[in-house]
């Protein structure tokens, strides 16, 4: 679904990403991790087409990313960011309706009525009691559910998550990630998630790309990437890595310094 090869990006002559290459299969949940400043969010912006690369190429469904028009790309790909919605006076349902923009003509009309799809996603995200409420009267977790709903209403082939759980408490983090994974399993959408939390990456991602100082360290399963020695090399601290008692996936326990 996504092929990235020979990717380079610099800002003001300072390299941010160098020689990045990987592929993501259709229906895969693919994670991107790394310390602050490693280039994670920049890579997400390159994949979404928001910024251009200096060298290399990105293919989406076999076609060069640069060959898609903005509207074509919006039908293929949706993005959920840390702070995805501004605190403006739109109602929740109006925000979800905005997700259909890529499919509308210049009159704002669609060939098929999107109401059943919007209703389905409102129900799935437990937004029924909020749909006539203004965004500026929602909590952070509620806003993030609305932002996810807007992305899902686009019916993308690829869903990009750029650290979407950073400002959420642990309950909302799990709720959001569970919803995304359930939607992914049901629709076979491809998910690429930039994640700060290594334990979440382990629980939800099929494979993980680790970045460090703009370079690709490794790509592999959670068991292959979340090793104590590799984490120490990249993050500068040596954690204890244990197997999750239920999911049998690696989980990180930090050690305080002496």
One DSSP character per residue, 15-53 reads: EEEEEEEEEE-TT-EEEEE-STTSSHHHHHHHHHTSS--
- The reported pLDDT for the residue numbered 83 is 65
Taking residues 114-132, what's their average pLDDT?
A: 89
How far apart are alpha carbons 35 and 71 in whole angstroms? 33
The whole-chain average pLDDT of the chain stands at 89
Taking residues 7-36, what's their average pLDDT?
A: 94
Q: Which residue has the higher pLDDT, 226 or 75?
A: 226
Homologous superfamily (CATH) of 2-222 is P-loop containing nucleotide triphosphate hydrolases (3.40.50.300)
Question: What is the chain's Cα-based Rg?
Answer: 19
Q: Give the pair of three-digit tokens for residue 111.
A: 């060939």
Contact criterion met (CB below 8 Å) for 144 and 106: no
**% of the chain beyond a pLDDT of 70:** 96
Going from N- to C-terminal start, the domains of the chain cover 2-222
pLDDT tens by residue, 50-80: 888 999 999 999 999 989 988 888 889 998 8
- The reported pLDDT for the residue numbered 255 is 84
- The reported pLDDT for the residue numbered 230 is 94
CA atoms within 13 A on the CB side of 122: 21
Partnered with residue 58 across adjacent β-strands are 4
- The reported pLDDT for the residue numbered 24 is 96
- The reported pLDDT for the residue numbered 165 is 82
- The reported pLDDT for the residue numbered 212 is 96
How far apart are alpha carbons 94 and 135 in whole angstroms? 10
- The reported pLDDT for the residue numbered 113 is 81
């Amino acid at each position: 679904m996504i092929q990235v090869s020979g990717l380079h990006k610099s800002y003001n002559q300072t390299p941010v990403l160098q020689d990045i290459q990987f592929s993501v299969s259709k229906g895969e949940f693919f994670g991107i991790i790394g310390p602050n400043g490693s280039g994670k969010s920049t890579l997400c912006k390159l994949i979404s087409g928001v910024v251009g690369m200096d060298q290399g190429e990105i293919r989406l469904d076999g076609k060069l990313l640069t060959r898609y028009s903005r509207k074509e790309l919006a039908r293929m790909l949706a993005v959920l960011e840390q702070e995805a919605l501004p605190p403006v006076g739109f109602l929740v349902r109006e925000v979800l309706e905005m997700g259909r923009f890529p499919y509308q003509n210049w009159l704002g009309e669609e060939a098929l009525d999107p109401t059943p799809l919007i209703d389905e996603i409102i129900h799935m995200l437990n937004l029924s009691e909020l749909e006539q409420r203004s965004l500026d009267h929602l909590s952070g977790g509620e806003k993030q559910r609305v932002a996810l709903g807007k992305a899902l209403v686009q019916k993308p082939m690829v869903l990009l998550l750029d650290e979407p759980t950073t400002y959420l408490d642990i309950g909302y983090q799990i709720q959001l990630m569970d919803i995304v994974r359930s939607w992914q399993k049901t629709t076979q959408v491809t998910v690429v998630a930039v994640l700060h939390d290594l334990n979440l990456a382990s629980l939800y991602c099929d494979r993980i790309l680790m970045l460090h100082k703009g370079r690709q360290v490794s790509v592999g399963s959670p068991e292959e990437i979340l090793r104590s020695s590799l984490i120490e090399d990249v993050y500068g601290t040596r954690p204890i890595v244990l197997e999750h008692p239920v999911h049998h996936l690696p989980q990180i326990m930090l050690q305080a310094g002496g």
